[in-house]
Structure 1
Amino acid sequence: MPVGLSAHLHTALCRGEDAADVRGYRLSEAASGGTFADVAYLLLHETLPDPDHLADFRTLLTCAAEVPPIIRALTEELPLHVTPGQTLRTVVSLLGEFDAQAGQTGPAAFRIQAVDLMARLPLVFAATRFFKNGKQPEANPELSFSADLVRLLTGKTPTEAEEVAFMADMVLAADPAPSPDVFAARLAAARGADLYGVVTAALCNGDGPPGGGDTITDQEDVTSAVARCVARVPVWAAHAMEQLRELENAPGGHVETTVTYDRPTERLFEPLSER
C-alpha cells in the first residue's frame, strides 16, 4: 500500500474535495446541531441513529464503562516523565489484554472494541487523577457522553456552554479525512490487527493525539490527549472496517491506496477557562 502525494483518498467515509465530510454529512453541521455520540454511531454503523438507536448506543457505552483495577495500578506506576500520548498507547494495549474480544477482527468485533475503548479510556485517567483510596469512577448516564467525558477528565461537571464547546471539538476531531494516523490504522487493519492494534498504530503516527506537556500530571494536556483519542477511535475503527471490506473485494486481496495529507491541523480542545 504505497503512499503517494498526487491524489486524495476517496472512500465511502470521506471525499477528498470536502475537508469535513463524513458519509455525506458535513462535520460543521454536526458540530452545531448534533452530538458526538451521533457522529460516532454514524462512523461505526454507516447511518445516523434514530432516537432509539442512539439511546441503545449510549447504554452500551455506559455498560462498557468498567476497568480492571490492575490497569489502574499499572498506570499509576508509570514514571512521571511519560507523556499523555505515551500513556495512552500503554493503556490501549493493557485494555486489549483484558478484553474477551481482543484478537478478533471484522465489523462486529471492531464495533464492540470501539465502544469498549471509548468508554474505558476516560475511566483509567480519571481513576488515577481524581479517585483515590481505591474508589472507582463510574459513568454518569444522566449526562451527555461529551459532558461526562469532561467530568471524568477534569473532576467537575461542565457548564452548558463548556459542554457545547467541548462537544463541538470532539465532533470536529472525528474528521475521517486522510492523515498519517488514518493511514497507519488502515495498514494495521490490513495486516490483521484487532482494533487495539489499529488504535496503537494510529497513536504512534502523525496526527494522533499529542504527547503534549512535560509530564503526565499536566492536566490540560491529559484532557486534550484523552479526549482527542476517544474522538478518533470511531474514525480509526471505521477506516479499519472499510480497509477489510476493500481487501475482501480486491483481486488477490491487494489494495493500492494513494493519499494526500494537505489538511492544516487546527487546535482543538482549548482550555475550558479560555472559552
Structure 2
Amino acid sequence: MEDAGSPASLPATVGVLGGGRMGAGIAHAFLLAGARVHVVERDAPAADAARTRIETALERSAARGHDRPDADALTVGVDLGDLAGAGLVVEAVPEDRALKLDALARIEGVVDAAAVVASNTSSISIDALAGSLERPERFLGLHFFNPVPASALVEIVTGTATVPEVVSRATAWVEAIGKAAVVVRDAPGFASSRLGVALGLEAIRMLEEGVASARDIDTAMELGYRHPMGPLRTTDVVGLDVRLGIAEELERAFGARFAPPELLRTLVAEGHLGRKTGRGFYEWSE
C-alpha cells in the first residue's frame, strides 16, 4: 500500500484514467514535478497514442530546460489494476456523465482506501458524480485547463461530502506542480466554465449576427480588457465540441441564457472542432 501523500508533498504515484489531450497533459505535469505516473487507456492503440503525446510533451519540456523524468517514471497501459498503488487518481475520460460515472466506479474498485480520487470534469456536478462512489468523502474535482502545460490554474471543486483534509492535500499537490489553485463549491459550471462559456457563447452570437469578425471580437477583449486570448480563439483551443457539451449542461441548469448558438451546433456537426481538427472560428495549421 502506498501512502496517499501529505499536504507537504506529492503522492509518489499518480494515476490518470484517460490519455487524451487533457489526460496526457495532467500526466506530463505530475511527471515534471517528480511523481511516477500510470496512465490507463481503453485499448492498445489508444495507449500507444497517449504514450506518444506524453513523450512528445516531455521532449518539448526538455528543450525548454526542464529535467527529463527517469525512463521508468511513466507507464501507459490498459490494465486498470495499474492504478492500485496510486495515492491520487485523476479521471480524464471525455465529458460525458455516463462515461465518468462508470470510470469513477471502476477506479474506486481498484484503489486503496487512502487514495484521493478526482475528476477532471469541467462542468458536470461533483455531487452527481460522487453518487457512483462508496467513499465520496475522498472525492473532488481537479479541473485542469487546456493546454495543461501552459495553463497556470487548476480549479478544485468540492462536493458536499468532500472532507477538508482532501481539499488541503489537493491544494498542496496543485501548488507542487507549479500551478495556482482556486477552491469552489460544486455548482453547475463551477466558476471558470460558467464565466468562460457565458463570454464565449455571447461572442459566438455576435459573430452569428454579423456584429464583427472573429478576429475583431477577440482583439476587442484582448486589448480592451487585457484578456490574453479572445473568447473565440479560446473556444478553438478548448474545442468547440467541449464548449457545446458544457453549454448544454449549463442550459439544463440555468435555462435559455446558456442555450448554444446555432452556429456552434453547425460547426460541431460539420466536424469543425477548432485547433484539433484544423478549423473552428479560425483556420489552424501545424
TM-score range, shorter chain: under 0.3
The TM-score, its normalising length taken from structure 2, stands at 0.21
- Between Structure 1 and Structure 2, the one with more helix by share is 1
Q: Which has the higher contact order (CA 8 A, sep 6+)?
A: 1
Which protein is bigger by CA-based radius of gyration?
2
Q: TM-score, normalised by structure 1?
A: 0.22
